[in-house]
Structures are given as structure tokens and as C-alpha cells.
Amino acid sequence: MSGKPKLTYFNGRGRMESVRWLLAAAGVEFEEVFLETREQYLKLIQDGDLLFDQVPLVDIDGMKMVQTRAILSYIAGKHNLYGKDLKERALYIDTYVEGTMDLMQMILTLPFSLPEAKEKNLPLIIEKAKNRYFPAYEKVLKQHCQGFLVGNQLSWADVHLLEAILMVEEKDPTVLSEFPLLQGFKTRISNMPTIKKFLQPGSQRKPQPDDKYVATVMKILKEAMYYSI
Amino acid sequence: MSGKPKLHYVNGRGRMESIRWLLAAAGVEFEEQFIETKEDLEKLLSDGLLLFQQVPMVEIDGMKMVQTRAILSYIAAKYNLYGKDLKERALIDMYVEGTTDLMGIIMYLPFQPPEAKEKNLALITDKATTRYFPVYEKVLKDQGQDYLVGNHFTWADVHLLEAILMVEEYKSDILSKFPLLQAFKGRISNIPTIKKFLQPGSQRKPPPDEKYIAQVKQIFNI
């Protein structure tokens, strides 16, 4: 056993991407096992590796962790990316991360919705980004004045926000035009060495989902995917 | 200021109910301010009290917290219901995410079209009995203990009890194949703070009815 965390997921972003980001930001090397067939998935279930029959699955520190938030919280806590006390953790980091999760969740599920829904939903997502989420984070940066969202060092909240910004920008490159502090934030955080490395070609960062990826996921899971409104 | 946490939400379960449960389990008294009209919501928004323009919002320890999970994590940690170390916390997080997913399906049921009701009920029963409850039954079996994590009462136990009772409201015999969960339910329900919360007159909210659904749709423009 290598001691490195081992990630089991489809070969694409989905819910695992935030985990890849956070491990990369923490400078933690990790291995990946890609689910390519339904048989592989069923075997994982049979072997009792998936607590709720779902991926992501991360083998880390002797635990087979599932549930994205639980995994991310553990990594953040372990690698000093979770603030210095309960207040920083809950009031700030957990709260901010829930916001970016809600935003990224909308984009995550987009490729799996019906074509008519896709057309309707994309503008709604951009609207939410510009009117609900980015103004909130712009204001936090303005009031906090430290270059980071929380405290005076990089936290999970910063990594997650950068991931969200880049994800929305892929859909609308002008989305940060009214948010100067977020623009500065994006540049600054992107230039932190571990993150800069992750943003370079050849890293374990995954590309945007394409039709092949969507088809693979649906073939493997074969279940109706319902998502929170 | 009373010093008690103050919960801002509609007068019903929704996303706030898990917070009521956790505060009650921790023996913490709390106040509630109900959003009854669109204007009530507008006021919270225009006062700048809702970070992402959403409720739940809980005023606690001088903070105006939003985002259900963040609020629950804070309460759990503050009142010693979050395990004793990072690994216990990881387990609690995993279990709570499971019960959140299960209760999430139920939460949206009343807002689905009537035609979908039968199908959704079948979905809940199926997920509860094939995905979620077997997991918790096994955890209790493997642990051989009274609680889900670390042989002490944690947020995971409170959340699971809430989920069990919620599913039972749809199908009263849902636990018929899960003897350890039945015993768990009996045991946790009898913890004094929880027993009190389960009695009439507590701040526990009833299942959503037509009036509640109409009110929510109107206030939030759904």
C-alpha cells in the first residue's frame, strides 16, 4: 500500500473534482481508480466498499470514506485548511463552502438534464452566480481585507471558491467583470504553487464533461438521477 | 437579548427541522421567528441578514449563520456532539450525509405533482430499506454499542432518529426488518432531552400540510 489516498470515481469531474482540488492544494499526492464498467461498480458494492452504494470513494488513512462533504471536511481538517477555531470553521469556511457547493452542483448536474432543460438552466446558473453567490464572496473579500476568505491563510473555502469561479467562467468568460476583488483573488490563489501546478496540463485535474463521459456515467449507474432543486 | 439562539424560518419542518432536533437534543432552549409573508422574507433580505439570500438563518453567539450544514456542524461541535477526534468526526459526517440524503427526498415530496406521489412513496420505501437503513443496522451490529459512533451520543444518532421517525410517518412498519434500529429508536427516544422534544407542546413541527405548502410556495415564489 502506497500510503497515498486512493480515489475511486468516473474518469471525469463530477463530485470527485472538489476532492482532487483540495488534495492538490494541500500538496498531497493521490492515486485514482476509474470506473469504466458497470461490473466494476457492482463489484465495489458486492465487496462492501461503498457505504451507501455510491461514489465518490476515497481510501484514506485506513478508512473507506464516502460522501463528498465528509471526505472534504476530513482532508481540510487533516491538512490545516479548516481555519484555526470553531468559529472560523463553521461560521466562515463551512458556510462559504456550502454556497460554492450549491453553485457548482447546478453546473455538475447540467450535462445530465434534458436538452430543453439545459438551455433554460444555463442562463439561470449564470444569473445566480452573478446575483447571489459572487456578490457575497466579493463582499467578504472587501470586508475581510486579507486576500483570503477566512483568517490570513489559505483555507478550503478559498480552494473551493477558485474551483467554482473557473467552472462558471468556462460557461461565461465575462462572469467576473463586475467583481474586481474576485478577479484579484482568482489570480492570487491560482498562483499559489500547489494550485498553479494543479492548473497545468498533465495534472490530475479533469476536463469538462463531454457526451462520452455522460454516457459512461449513465451506463454504469443505470438509475434515475434526481437532484435537489 | 436573551442569549438563546433565534431561528428564522417558516412555521414548518423544511430544512430547519434538523436544527431544532439538534438544539433540543443538546438541551438548548431556542426562540423562533416565523416568516409568514413575502414581506417578512423581503425584510430579512433588505436588512442584509441572509448571506446567500436564503433561510434557514440562525442567530447564535453573535453570528447570523446560514447554510443548514454549517449551522448543524457548529451546534454539534459546540455542544460536544461531534465525536472526540477527526476520525470520529469523519464517521459522523458520513452517517449524517446519508440521513440528509434520505430526508432530502422526503422533504421535496409535498412539492411534487400529485401524480408522482405514489412513485415517490415507493422510492422512499425502497431507498430506506435497501440503501440507508441496512447501513445503520450494520453499524449498530458491528459496533455492538448503543450509539452509532464511539459509544457515545452524537449528532449522528439524533439525525438518524429524526430520519427514522420521518420515514415511519410514510410507512409505519418500515423498521420491521431492522431489529437493532427498532431498539435504537426506543433507546434514543428515551434520552430525557429527546423525550421532551417528542412530547406535544414542544417546538417540533408537524408534517407539512396543504396550508404549509401553499404558504411556502407563495413566500418563496415556487
DSSP code, position A13:
-
Give me A96's grid cell: 462559504
A197: amino acid identity, one letter: K
Residue type at position A56 = P
The pLDDT, as a whole number, for residue B9 is: 98
Judge: A91–B53 Cβ closer than 8 Å, yes or no: no
Is A228 in Cβ contact with B70 (below 8 Å)? no
CB contact under 8 A, B97 and A67: yes
| Mean pLDDT of the A98-115 span | 94
- Band of residue B2 on the pLDDT scale cut at 50, 70, 90: low
The C-alpha angle A23, A25, A29, rounded to 5 degrees, equals 45
pLDDT in tens, A122-180: 999 999 999 999 999 999 999 998 899 999 999 999 999 999 999 999 999 999 999 99
Taking a C-beta distance cutoff of 8 angstroms, is the pair A56, A71 a contact? yes
d(CA B3, CA A179): 37
Which class would CATH give B6-79+198-210? alpha beta
Contact B89 A87 (CB under 8 A): no
pLDDT tens for B51-81 read 999 999 999 999 999 999 999 999 999 999 9
Contact B73/A97 with Cβ under 8 angstroms?
Answer: no
Task: Return all residues near B200 (Cβ < 8 A) that are at least 6 apart.
Answer: none
Residue A2 has pLDDT above 70, yes or no: no
Is the CB of A65 less than 8 angstroms away from the CB of B94?
yes
pTM of this structure: 0.95
How much is the ipTM here?
Answer: 0.94
Whether A226 has a pLDDT exceeding 70, the answer reads no
Out of A209-213, B191-195, B217-221, give the one with best mean pLDDT. B191-195
Domain count within chain A = 2
Best CATH choice for the domain B86-190 from the list 3.40.640.10, 3.40.190.10, 1.20.1050.10, 1.10.1060.10:
1.20.1050.10
**What are φ and ψ of residue A222, in 5° steps?**
45, 30
A59 pairs with which residues across the strands? A6, A64
Would you state the pLDDT for residue A224?
A: 45
pLDDT reported for residue A229: 26
User: Residue A16 belongs to what domain range?
Assistant: 6-79+200-221
Q: Say which CATH number the domain at A208 has.
A: 3.40.30.10
Number of residues that this document lists for chain B: 222
Q: Is B209 helix (H, G, I), strand (E, B) or coil?
A: coil
Q: Which residues of B touch A (CB under 8 A)?
A: 51-53, 63, 65-71, 73-74, 77-78, 86-87, 89-90, 93-94, 96-98, 101, 104-105, 108, 111, 131-132, 135
Q: Are residues A186 and A205 in the same domain?
A: no
Residues of A near B (CB-CB distance < 8 A)? 51-53, 61, 63, 65-70, 73-74, 77-78, 86-87, 89-91, 94-95, 97-99, 102, 132-133, 136, 226, 228-229
Cis peptide before A56 (omega within 30 of 0): yes
What pLDDT, in 10s, does the model give residues A68-88? 999 999 999 999 999 999 999
